Structure 1
Amino acid sequence: MRTKDMRRSVAALAALAMAGACTAQGIEVHGGQRQPVRVDTTGTPGATPSPTPSDVPSGIPKQDGGDGGDGKGGRGTAATTPPPTPTPPPSPTPAPKVLWSQGDEGLDVRELQARLRQIAWLFAGPTGTYDEPTVRAVRGFQGKRGLPQTGKTDSVTWARLLNMTREPGKWDLYAYGGQPAASPDPRCLTGRVLCISKTSRTLRWMVDGRTLRTVEVRFGSEGTPTREGVFQVYFKSRDHWSTLYDTPMPYAMFFSGGQAVHYSADFAARGYYGASHGCVNVRDEAAIAQLFAQVRNGDKVVVYW
């Protein structure tokens, strides 16, 4: 063999030896390019090794189901589901507002009593004072309608009562007194005067323009009206008895024919739900007794609207 051919053979053998060594170290030559080769170090022929974390290409999430991973590539973090937000219990229904209760006074209480009278839960009054009979009447009304029996008038009780009754008129409100007296007629401002207002249903006992006493009064019916005008007391009778109507007229002070100012037991019992035969009825017996002692024959009587 020629020297040149021998050199080529030696070079080829050297190349083959280098190629085998590179293959053992994980480098494989293909078409003159060296490529990395994965080497099975477990000794199992043909086995594909599991990638280590460093072998996972970037951008691919790491999965770890063996140590409580959260599925996002993190290790040691337990997978958790947020607990549901508890639903708060419903708020209790607030108690209705109490409008009036025992001890209260005023026109509103008077209206309450007048409405209770309309449906026969109250028989006395109206007085304008929330007293024990009013408490009992309200409690009974509430119980009949399935409401809490507090005896206090709350907004629910009042609404139910409004739906069942009509608005009371002036004399429904003052059937048992308490109405304010009207301003005195100018004719009452001089001398000694029984100043009687049909508008407010009151009698003022006045001396020289000063009111010394005010009492509630009622008048005759439409068929027997009380006369209006200026009169004088002409006759007084402490224990008078009407022969015309066969009825007592105590503390009578006559001022026009058979019409007189006197005490009326019927007025005291029934209030403005009755009427006289033309006289001016007074229901406060103690008050009319004092007036009878002070009024003289000849004192002026003024009856006006």
Structure 2
Amino acid sequence: MTSLRRSFAAVTGAAALVTACGCTVQTTGPEGKGRPPVHIDVGPTATRGKPASPASTASATPADGKPPSTAPTTPEPAGPPPVVLWSRGDSGRDVRELQARLRQVAWLFDGPTGTYDERTEQAVKGFQGKRGLPRTGRTDTVTWERLLGMTREPGEWELYLMGGQPAAAPDPRCLTGRVLCIDKTSRTLRWMMDGQTVSTMAVRFGSQYTPTREGVFHVYWKSRHHVSTLYDSPMPYAMFFSGGQAVHYSSDFAARGYAGASHGCVNVRDETAIANLFAQVRNGDKVVVSW
């Protein structure tokens, strides 16, 4: 290549002859003496749009003139069918994560509840159909992998948006007597008798502007069909423990989860659970509200 550059630098006139295998440049120096030809290899001419030589296609037709036989191709073996991970009727934390991820891609707007119900099944069908997967409504390995690739790991807040998280260990002040043991960190209420947990339910609290008071209190009044005179809102199964603050059922909590807040009361979203609790709690029972 170096000699080629030197040849072109000194050239005063040139004649080129293009051949079938490349290009030959004949140069003449200043003294008029001929220089040896420089050969530039440009590769086979077949790559430059010229038809291939007959020799290159001879092998396409056998000598006897008969077309070559084509051996039957064996189809690739199909992979194993997708494994169903969860379907309608299943429950648990994995189902809760599935629901949280379906919420992230706007295929589910309720929960997570941890129960694979009809709404979850319909959400999975919609997700599958949008991506060309069989609309079974069951979450199999293929559906799950596709959903994982489109979403992020949900945090505890997303997993328990509608409540249902495990209760925290009870405050030591809850270990004696009859106690409504309320924990703001796990957002749960334990109904305890002599250190034993009778029932547990999800709760929510007041906002930063109307916080739920912390400390040790006692139930001083029960009102089954109470309506707030301050906010003109229903407070069924109300059990008052500190001024106007009470433990009571909240239809808003049941509908919106932790997207809302109370005006300081302890809201319960499970109406059946609080109806049973209301029947058991007595005036004078202890209430402990802690972080």
Relative to the length of structure 1, the TM-score reads 0.67
Task: Give, in whole Å, the separation in 2 of the partners of 1:284 and 1:85.
Answer: 69
Matches within 5 A, 1:18-33: none
SS at match of 2:101: helix
What amino acid is aligned across from residue 164 of structure 2 in structure 1?
G
What residue in structure 1 maps to residue 247 of structure 2?
261
Q: CA deviation at 1:87?
A: 5.2
What residue in structure 1 maps to residue 101 of structure 2?
115
Structure 1 pair 227–146 and aligned structure 2 pair: CA distance change class (3 A): same
What amino acid is aligned across from residue 108 of structure 2 in structure 1?
L
Match 2:179 to one of 182, 186, 193: 193
Question: Which runs of at least 4 in structure 1 moved beyond 4 Å after TM superposition?
Answer: 83-87
What amino acid is aligned across from residue 123 of structure 1 in structure 2?
F
Task: Give, in whole Å, the separation in 1 of the partners of 2:131 and 2:146.
Answer: 9
Task: Give, in whole Å, the separation in 2 of the partners of 1:223 and 1:159.
Answer: 43
Deviations 1:182-232 (A, max 9, x none): 211110011111101112221111121122222221111222221211111
Matches within 5 A, 1:5-16: none
Q: Does 1:100 align with 2:86?
A: yes
Deviations 1:132-162 (A, max 9, x none): 3222111111111112222222233222222
Task: Give, in whole Å, the separation in 2 of the partners of 1:203 and 1:163.
Answer: 36
Q: Does 1:180 align with 2:152?
A: no
Q: Does 1:296 align with 2:282?
A: yes
What residue in structure 1 maps to residue 230 of structure 2?
244
Q: Does 1:230 align with 2:216?
A: yes
Structure 2 unaligned regions, length at least 5: 1-68
Q: CA deviation at 1:169?
A: 2.1
Task: Give, in whole Å, the separation in 1 of the partners of 2:244 and 2:220.
Answer: 11
Task: Give, in whole Å, the separation in 2 of the partners of 1:181 and 1:103.
Answer: 24
Q: CA deviation at 1:256?
A: 1.6
Q: Does 1:167 align with 2:169?
A: no
Task: Give, in whole Å, the separation in 2 of the partners of 1:191 and 1:229.
Answer: 16
Q: Does 1:214 align with 2:200?
A: yes
**2:188–2:200 CA contact under 8 A, matched in 1:** yes
Structure 1 pair 135–286 and aligned structure 2 pair: CA distance change class (3 A): closer
Structure 1 unaligned regions, length at least 5: 1-82
Task: Give, in whole Å, the separation in 1 of the partners of 2:208 and 2:121.
Answer: 37
Match 1:205 to one of 172, 191, 204: 191
Task: Give, in whole Å, the separation in 2 of the partners of 1:236 and 1:101.
Answer: 42
Deviations 1:69-90 (A, max 9, x none): xxxxxxxxxxxxxx99865432
What amino acid is aligned across from residue 245 of structure 2 in structure 1?
Q
Task: Give, in whole Å, the separation in 2 of the partners of 1:275 and 1:295.
Answer: 24
Task: Give, in whole Å, the separation in 2 of the partners of 1:140 and 1:133.
Answer: 11
Relative to the length of structure 2, the TM-score reads 0.70
Structure whose alpha-carbon radius of gyration is higher: 1
Q: Does 1:147 align with 2:133?
A: yes
Aligned-residue Cα RMSD (Å) equals: 2.2
**2:164–2:201 CA contact under 8 A, matched in 1:** no
SS at match of 1:156: helix
Q: CA deviation at 1:94?
A: 3.5
Structure 1 pair 86–289 and aligned structure 2 pair: CA distance change class (3 A): closer
What amino acid is aligned across from residue 273 of structure 2 in structure 1?
A
Give the paired residue count: 223
Task: Give, in whole Å, the separation in 2 of the partners of 1:137 and 1:273.
Answer: 21
Task: Give, in whole Å, the separation in 1 of the partners of 2:223 and 2:73.
Answer: 83
Identity across aligned pairs (percent)? Answer: 78
What amino acid is aligned across from residue 215 of structure 1 in structure 2?
M
Match 1:280 to one of 256, 260, 266: 266
Task: Give, in whole Å, the separation in 2 of the partners of 1:89 and 1:163.
Answer: 30
Structure 1 pair 84–145 and aligned structure 2 pair: CA distance change class (3 A): closer
